[in-house]
Chains A and B, each alone.
Chain A
Amino acid sequence: MKGSRQRRFRHDYCIQAGGHVSKPKLAIYWAASCGGCDIAILDIETKILDVADFFDLALWPCAADFKYKDVRALPDKSITLTLFNGAIRSSENFEIAQLLREKSVVLCAFGSCASDGCIPGLANLTTRQDIWDYVYLKSPSVDNPQGIMPQTLCQVPEGVITIPEMWNTVRPLTQVVDVDYIIPGCPPQSDKIAEVVGAVIDILKNGKPLPPKGTVLGAGEKTCCDECQRSKDVKKITKFIRPFEIVPDPNLCLIEQGIVCCGPATRSGCGAKCVSAGVPCRGCYGKPVNVRDQGAKMVSALASVIESKDPKEIENIIAAIPDPVGTFYRFSLPESMLRRAQV
């Protein structure tokens, strides 16, 4: 928002036609996601009562029965806040993303799927056709002798029914519509959601200025390592080990123990919960500030700690990382520099 006035929520956003003052509207939508984000919202405990108290729900498919046509019938910009979780993977996801963009004053990419592509984004390592072939024909648990595949439309006695079309490439919400704010995490931590929700209510009640567009909310600016309580010394390793091969020392940095941990290339905000429990960081909060590609930064961070000056030995050490793409880009492949694999 350089050079323009700071945006403020004005009171008339809360006034509907006819001068009737009503509560601001909130929409929570899921596209290609697992539902964990919705559960994380419900998980903010008593704060959820503030939400219910302060907002009118306009759409929340996970928790209440609304129809798309009701949302279509709303005037433009009548939903004050939309928390959109899930990646854009089908024509339906895209249509609803566009619809909610039109109807919302503030659209938040909520969670890693909407901001970075997350786990659904790993589909970008292959093609839609290959996924379908595996899921409907080749998977060992599938019994489909007639080779029936999904169709986007089907003739039934009552007429033609249609289902959405799946895309070949998964995209985060940020690549398909204009997004105001990003709340990262898979899912975003409930305490952070409660903070953000509290801040939003404060802004709406007191007419405070909004943060600049594009701000990442509910997360820090440094890396997960910054929050990690484990002691860090000089990082020097001679081999990588898988987490199940050892019982990790509870106080020492996991990378120093040879475990691949994505902390150095992951945004802080989660409180390093996985790492405290002895599980290496997998990178769900996305890339930190000033990093453009999480995978590339992981390559940089991880390779630098190898203690060897012999190219052959280095190659052998590196060979112990079985799937660098799936490990370093687990949550951010569609948001990486190359967006998807060459197939």
Chain B
Amino acid sequence: MSFEPKILSILCNWCSYTGADLAGTARMKYPPNVIGVRVMCSGRVDPGFVLDALRLGADGVLVCGCHPGDCHYVEGNYKCMRRIPLLKNLLQGLGIDPNRLRLEWVSASEGGRFQEVVTEFTEQIRALGPFKPQEWSFNPVETVAPHHERIAAKAVPA
């Protein structure tokens, strides 16, 4: 079976969610890989949301907000604009391709833009492949047997 990316999109209530809604009501086709979550503002997007999404099985995260200057809360999207590059650096440091995270500005009237962004990002994540957080769970192989029982099973080097 081919890999189908799971993508979380975090959409701002005032512009991007309405934009996505418009794409739907206008019957624009885009890949079904994106699950949308509405937040009040892109400034509300805690970097922890992105890490949590990756931890819980998302292959990519798309954050959408109002165009700079259009924020309903005046400055919220600028906060987001400043956080995402630093978060990308953090992801890079953790060995995660920063291209798994994307920030886009989509206004309420830009259904077509949303369609474009989602299609492009889905292909981008498809090319990157699935994301698996390493050794997230407690690994019993490493820990279950006391070490001398395990090494007793191995041959003794000369």
- The interface of chain A, by Cβ under 8 A from chain B, is 91-92, 94-95, 125, 151-155, 160, 162, 164-165, 167-169, 171, 175-176, 291-293, 295-297, 299-300, 302-304, 306, 308-309, 311, 314-315, 318, 321, 323-326, 328, 336-343
Which of the 9-residue segments B3-11, B32-40, B93-101, B111-119 touches chain A? B93-101
Give, as a whole number of angstroms, the nearest-CB distance from B64 to chain A. 15
Known A299-B86, A321-B89, A341-B93: A162·B147 in contact at CB below 8 Å: yes
Q: What is the bound-complex CA distance between A160 and B147, given in angstroms? A: 14
Are B147 and A91 in touch, CB under 8 angstroms?
A: yes
Are A152 and B93 in touch, CB under 8 angstroms?
A: no
**Of B79, B95, B147, which is within 8 A of A92 by CB?**
B147
Chain A residues near B136 (CB, 8 Å)? Answer: 338-339
Chain A residues near B26 (CB, 8 Å)? Answer: none
Chain A residues near B93 (CB, 8 Å)? Answer: 125, 323-326, 341
Are B68 and A303 in touch, CB under 8 angstroms?
A: no
Q: What is the bound-complex CA distance between A19 and B29, given in angstroms? A: 79
> Which applies to chain A's interface (DSSP): helix, strand, loop or mixed?
mixed
Interface string of B98-114 (1 = CB under 8 A from A): 00000000000000000
Give, as a whole number of angstroms, the nearest-CB distance from B156 to chain A. 6
Is the C-beta of B139 less than 8 angstroms from some C-beta in chain A?
yes
Is the C-beta of B72 less than 8 angstroms from some C-beta in chain A?
no
Is the C-beta of B46 less than 8 angstroms from some C-beta in chain A?
yes
| Minimal Cβ-Cβ distance residue in A for B143 | A94
Are A341 and B147 in touch, CB under 8 angstroms?
A: no
Chain B residues near A325 (CB, 8 Å)? Answer: 90, 93-94
**Of A94, A175, A341, which is within 8 A of B95 by CB?**
A341
Are A304 and B156 in touch, CB under 8 angstroms?
A: no
A-B contact pairs, 11 of them (CB 8 A): A92-B147, A162-B151, A167-B143, A296-B87, A297-B47, A299-B90, A303-B87, A323-B93, A324-B90, A339-B135, A341-B93
Are A300 and B47 in touch, CB under 8 angstroms?
A: yes
Are A314 and B51 in touch, CB under 8 angstroms?
A: no
Chain B residues near A160 (CB, 8 Å)? Answer: 156
Known A91-B146, A338-B94: A303·B51 in contact at CB below 8 Å: no
Are A342 and B134 in touch, CB under 8 angstroms?
A: yes
